[in-house]
Amino acid sequence: MGLKLRAVPVTEENFRPFGQLLGKIGDGCEYGSGEAQLNLANGIPRLYLMELKKTGLRFKRITHHARVTQCLGSVGAHPWYMAVSPPSIVDPSSQHEGAVRSNAGGHYYLPPSHASVQVFKIDGPRFIKLNEGTWHAGPLFGDRDSMVFYNLELSDTNVVDHTTHVFQDDVLIED
């Protein structure tokens, strides 16, 4: 059957442990803390429009990127969901029971648990920035055949910095 998690509306405060929630700002404003605090220093930035076919509101895999922040937002400001879990990258010189070595980049991490996963509903003209190492499943949506998202990461993120954990059971998102 799997685990059911209720989505909560995203706010700047409840998303802070995982990254940033960002919205529109006026043209000509000076750079400030209300803008995405990015780490794109480890490669060539890649900004693209990503089309996803109907994803459904269920997942079993959750991923993190250890070397880069990632920004995602819906083109058209349609509602969507993101499941996240806090970063769990650990220092290999420390003794951490259960630490796993990533095949993508060689870093060590503690696998996320179902209990650590939170699901956010994101709507309107807003986007999220995921901190380095934040586990994420999504973007997810269930009421459309497809959606387009803008995605900012590195050109090789999905090749050299893509660590995935597979949960034993599916996670079902409830709105």
- In this model, does residue 80 exceed pLDDT 80? yes
Asked, for residue 27, whether it belongs to a domain, the answer is no
- CATH number for the domain including 102? 2.60.120.480
Asked, for residue 104, whether it belongs to a domain, the answer is yes
Q: What domain count does the chain have?
A: 1
Q: Which residue has the higher pLDDT, 41 or 94?
A: 41
Domain hosting residue 109, numbered range? 3-22+49-138+156-173
Asked, for residue 53, whether it belongs to a domain, the answer is yes
Asked, for residue 167, whether it belongs to a domain, the answer is yes
Asked, for residue 75, whether it belongs to a domain, the answer is yes
- Single-letter residue type at 128: I
Instruction: Check: CB of residue 130 under 8 Å from CB of residue 69.
Output: yes
pLDDT for the residue 1: 61
Please state the rounded mean pLDDT for residues 86-90: 96
- In this model, does residue 25 exceed pLDDT 90? no
Residue whose token pair is 């990127």: 65
Q: What Å distances lie between residue 108 and 30, 41, 44, CA to CA?
A: 38, 21, 24
Asked, for residue 148, whether it belongs to a domain, the answer is no
